[in-house]
Structure 1
């Protein structure tokens, strides 16, 4: 059994607890939060509570630290855990700058510990099926892709905590909500080469953007469009991922991207395509993405391999987000290789 500790006992921590309870080779052994009241719902005879990370890291039962704090704290806590010889599972985004992401990756490598970044949407049944079709070459030459996030995060959501919607600790719709969809675009389409983005803060009283539209050119020549908003009234409307190629069209959508809306391939008859749809309709949500992330990291530790969503992969989507933000701020198209040249490590 691999012993996990959760740092930060907010909303997302509950998903980690539920996921750990479902993973046979993993066990929650400790939690940490600076607020002792927040610890109360998590501590029991088998789970110790700490208000100091330094003290938690001395616990020999703790082998992995799951970091569930506001984003701005991720780099410092990851480095602290890695230097104590603990593996790290960090919520998205892994950091708010490439410099911090690079330091996190480097420290974990130097201390021979695993670093995994939580991008659980890759494990949705329909998304995994789409990726498999790509690997099989079923789309042929890719034309373009589209990711849409039309959600609602009202002002009350941001007013829950002072850090929400801030540049220093949180980020806007790109960094906080659409980063999952941007990760899926990269997973499906490969590396991004250039972006052009318009962003605005239209309806929410926050420091960061609440609506954004980007055009992306990928290194393989295909194009992409990302629309992301938390301004939808009165509730979440749609999340979708579409891929179009010379021999295939696939659209996954719904209020969350869990259902096949279009599934047409040159190598599939209508009856064969219907079988795929029926499989997804029977179980659109599958196993929790957080459970899959923890299962993979646990196996990666046991097998001494790289996690499926490593720190390097987490850095790639962070780079895309930052490129989009820079494009919106400057009004220029941004080449991602130039973004790399301009960072100071």
Structure 2
């Protein structure tokens, strides 16, 4: 069989890791890196890799089997549709779309073309996530009181200046829906939904959002979101990009007969008895290639398995603009591109939200006690 040809669209930032991964698979003969596309110059590519400014030119000039799309959120739908209508399978970075309407449009394209579309939620392919999901389904933790997703990250000014769309809810009239919940810490929500077996579009019954920002941006950087699944499970997401230190995200199962913590970034599970288990994870591109060779091999993250997550994206999209966290609740550190806010005691409030499955306002977090301010500050 001919070795599948792969192209990468968007080779800077996270896209660079995709280029490296295809190069790794090329060394074992599993794939060929045929071309890349990016409006900005690409560096450190093998001499035989063709370079294009955009996907349309790439598709006209090359023959490829798979394209990896690691581009701004608002470009995902048009680029994925372009590729699939050209007969190419797609590995699409998360979040797959910026709205429910776009999700439905992309689902229709997949149905019409019969192409495969894998979504880049790596945590879904972790044996740690899948093992814990199986344990929950088997009743190992008794009745599930709820699931919480906790993220305490630090993002500096350079993060929001890396691209025009960063930190934006819309750009040039098009939905972007960047933000702590929907982009950098999106894996937390998606993993929590998988643990509950509630990944589908119809598996999420309701979504409540409380979106705040300490940075001078449009999108949220400190938020709680609570959703209830069709199973009746409350899932509480408590995240910030304004922590005092950068910590690994956690997804916590709260059961009547025990508690478990998933640390998906390191593929580990922690249990009440102190046991810590480390797992492997499947590679999403390898899984897509296996699926192409044998359709009986299921995709790890088909688009349909991100419907529940898209319900959350849609709720964030239509929510009121994030409220500004009052200055007295924020301490700033660093200068220039290193400058970043720390929301005072945010870790304490996130932990309480996780334990009590409660929104910040229900707990009385200080930045929720004042009248919401949604003014337009200069951007970073």
TM over 0.5: yes
Greater fraction of residues in helix: 1
The answer (yes or no) to whether the contact 1:94–1:315 under 8 Å persists in 2 is no
Question: C-alpha separation between the residues in 2 aligned to 1:238 and 1:294?
Answer: 24
Secondary structure of 2:262 counterpart: strand
TM-superposed deviation, 1:250: 0.6
- Contact 1:3–1:29 (Cα < 8 Å) also in 2: yes
From 210, 213, 226, the counterpart of 1:198 = 210
- How far apart, in 1, do the equivalents of 2:19 and 2:75 lie? 20
Instruction: Give, in angstroms, the shift of residue 170 of structure 1.
Output: 5.3
**1:15-164 to 2 correspondence within 5 Å?**
15-23=17-25, 24=28, 25-35=30-40, 37=41, 39-42=42-45, 44-164=46-166
Give, in whole Å, the separation in 2 of the partners of 1:316 and 1:192. Answer: 6
Contact kept, 8 Å, 2:204 with 2:230, in 1: the verdict is yes
Distance 1:213 1:52, change over 3 A: closer
Q: Quote the RMSD (CA, aligned, Å).
A: 2.5
- SS of match in other structure, 2:133: helix
What is the aligned partner in structure 1 of residue 252 from structure 2? 242
Using the TM superposition, give the Cα deviation of residue 221 of structure 1 relative to its aligned residue in structure 2, in angstroms: 1.7
SS in 1 for 2:249: strand
Residue pair 1:296, 1:307 contacting (<8 A) in 2 also: yes
SS of 2:183's partner is: helix
Unaligned runs of 5+ residues in structure 1 are: 265-269, 334-345
* C-alpha distance in 2 between matches for 1:330 and 1:72: 20
Q: Tell me if structure 2 keeps the 8 A contact 1:240–1:257.
A: no
Conserved 8 A contact 2:11-2:19: no
Q: Distance in 2 between matches of 1:20 and 1:135?
A: 35
Q: 1:260 aligns with which of 248, 251, 269?
A: 269
Q: After superposition, what is the alpha-carbon deviation per residue over 1:99-150, rounded to whole angstroms, capped at 9, x for unaligned?
A: 1122222112212211111000123343233123224332233221110011
Q: Is the 8 A contact 2:129 2:195 kept in 1?
A: no
Cα distance change, pair 46–134 in 1 and its aligned pair in 2 (3 A): farther
Aligned length: 308
1:3-29 Cα distance to aligned partner (Å, 9 max, x none): 110011211112112222343422321
Residue aligning to 1:307? 299
3-state SS of paired residue (1:195)? strand
**Matched position secondary structure for 1:80:** helix
Alpha-carbon distance between aligned partners in 2 of 1:18 and 1:137, rounded to the nearest angstrom: 40
CA offset at residue 329 of structure 1? 5.6
Alignment check: 8 A CA contact 1:5 1:29 kept: yes
Instruction: Give the 3 Å change call, closer, same or farther, for CA 158–115 of structure 1 in structure 2.
Output: same
How far 1:213 moved relative to its partner?
0.7
**Cα deviation 1:265-321 (Å, max 9, x = unaligned):** xxxxx6xx84xx2x41xxx6x45x6xx111111111111255221111223312122
Q: What secondary structure is seen at the aligned counterpart in 2 of 1:174?
A: coil
CA-to-aligned-CA distance 1:73-108 (integer Å, 9 cap, x gap):
111111111111111111001111111122222112
Within 5 A, what are the aligned runs for 1:160-179? Answer: 160-168=162-170, 169=176, 171-179=178-186
Q: Is the 8 A contact 1:31 1:48 kept in 2?
A: yes
Report if the CA contact (8 A) 1:163-1:170 is conserved: no
Verify: 1:227 aligned to 2:238, yes or no.
yes
Q: Partners of 1:133 and 1:242 in 2: how far apart?
A: 13
Give the TM-score, by structure 2 length.
Answer: 0.74
Is the CA contact 1:239–1:257 (under 8 Å) kept in the aligned structure 2?
A: no
Extract unaligned runs of 5+ from structure 2: 171-175, 324-358, 360-380
